[in-house]
Structure 1
């Protein structure tokens, strides 16, 4: 903390903004959206702009003298009622996502093939004596079934993402997710709170203070914007790193 207070204000704010840029709302959710098979750059950009504007508005309220706003929010979100509200917001987002119209659903052929292969393997096992090769085949089938179950569980979140990014979903849904992420995180983002305190105490004119706040929010989403740009122009290079980060 002494290092931040001793450094120039601009450098301190930039460092804090980059730390804020590594949070779930400003980086991990955008990364998960970037991993969609069909990239919707406009939706990802809308998400990032929305969450940046949210933090900008909260910062403006802070600068205008509502200094207890963040403290009250932090106390509220840390209370039992706050935890219930956060849980309710999460459940509501999931319900809304699954209720989004997505058109006709088709069962992936791999599921049908897996079912046919499983029945064929079972029938073969009942007609023949179990041998070494048969055991190997059955073990492979069991492993494939386990992998399919894990993929199905992970696929629920992927389907939520695909619904959010589908043409049938309204852009307002993306904005709602961004606002919910901001509301849940704002009272727990220590770098943001420190930066707002530094700006409030800085000897700057109001226009400069608000300009610095806007720059702070822009730097917050800069890492995700960079990943979005790389995903567009160099998808093969960033696909695996994004997958590891999302995992």
Structure 2
């Protein structure tokens, strides 16, 4: 592994750390009325991290073999056309998603939060909340999928890949852990920050999702257009004029 790969993975992990399940819900849980149950929040974050880790190892383990099998397909014109269309669809979805106005916080999620942090709900319910959160944000796991792609391209041994992914997942939940520690040590000082971050993330959730979808769509569409020679054709037409 080189410094460039490590830096890219850390950056992607920090982007992932600002997602719905890794930061917004933990902040909501810290803002719940009553005494803070730190252990329950740790169970939530641990579930999220383990879910990501297991998914990442499974995808990485199958990625190399799958890539060898489908590599001839990736170079075909039909596949590149499908990739171009998928990129365009993501760009359209990015525009539509970014324009959505945020509403109130989901009532069911808020009720789960109250039960989780007051101790009325079981650990199974808390784990179910974490799994529900990461499942709902599966469409925006693009930074994690990009990290898996980088690790697959690096052709690391599976144990080392698993260790790197474990470090990625730790960095991913680190901001929430730092906020939790600050909330325990200096609750009154941290409370305004939590309220502000919660409000900002709630207001900008749709816009952030739109940016993620837009970047992914642009990368897919531009790569397909380049492989199909569309840019060369445009240059030729421009030169002819």
The answer, yes or no, to whether TM exceeds 0.5 is yes
State the match for 1:200 in structure 2: 152
- Asked if 1:31 corresponds to 2:27, the answer is yes
Structure 2 counterpart SS, 1:8: helix
Distance, in Å, in 2 between the alignment partners of 1:155 and 1:191 is 25
Larger radius of gyration: 1
Aligned pair in 2 of structure 1 residues 66, 184: CA closer, same or farther (>3 Å)?
farther
Structure 2 counterpart SS, 1:39: coil
State the match for 2:17 in structure 1: 21
Tell me which of 143, 154, 173 is aligned to 1:191.
Answer: 143
Distance, in Å, in 1 between the alignment partners of 2:12 and 2:43 is 23
Tell me which of 172, 182, 201 is aligned to 1:230.
Answer: 182
State the match for 1:53 in structure 2: 50
Superposition map of 1:1-247 within 5 A:
8-37=4-33, 38-65=35-62, 159-247=111-199
RMSD between aligned residues: 2.4
Q: Which residues of structure 1 form unaligned runs of 5+?
A: 1-5, 69-74, 79-152
Q: Could you tell me how far 1:53 is from its partner in structure 2?
A: 0.3
Q: Could you tell me how far 1:159 is from its partner in structure 2?
A: 4.7
Distance, in Å, in 2 between the alignment partners of 1:229 and 1:176 is 24
Query: For residues 11-32 of structure 1, what are the alpha-carbon distances to aligned partners after superposition, in whole Å with 9 as ceiling and x for unaligned?
Result: 1100100000000110000000
Runs of at least 4 residues off by over 6 Å: none
Q: Could you tell me how far 1:158 is from its partner in structure 2?
A: 5.1
Aligned pair in 2 of structure 1 residues 179, 9: CA closer, same or farther (>3 Å)?
same
Distance, in Å, in 2 between the alignment partners of 1:211 and 1:158 is 34
Q: Is the contact between residue 63 and residue 152 of structure 2 (CA under 8 Å) also seen in structure 1?
A: no
Equivalenced residue count is: 160
Q: What TM-score, normalized by structure 1, do the two folds share?
A: 0.59
Query: For residues 46-90 of structure 1, what are the alpha-carbon distances to aligned partners after superposition, in whole Å with 9 as ceiling and x for unaligned?
Result: 00000000000100111111588xxxxxx9xx9xxxxxxxxxxxx
Q: Could you tell me how far 1:222 is from its partner in structure 2?
A: 0.4
Q: Could you tell me how far 1:203 is from its partner in structure 2?
A: 3.3
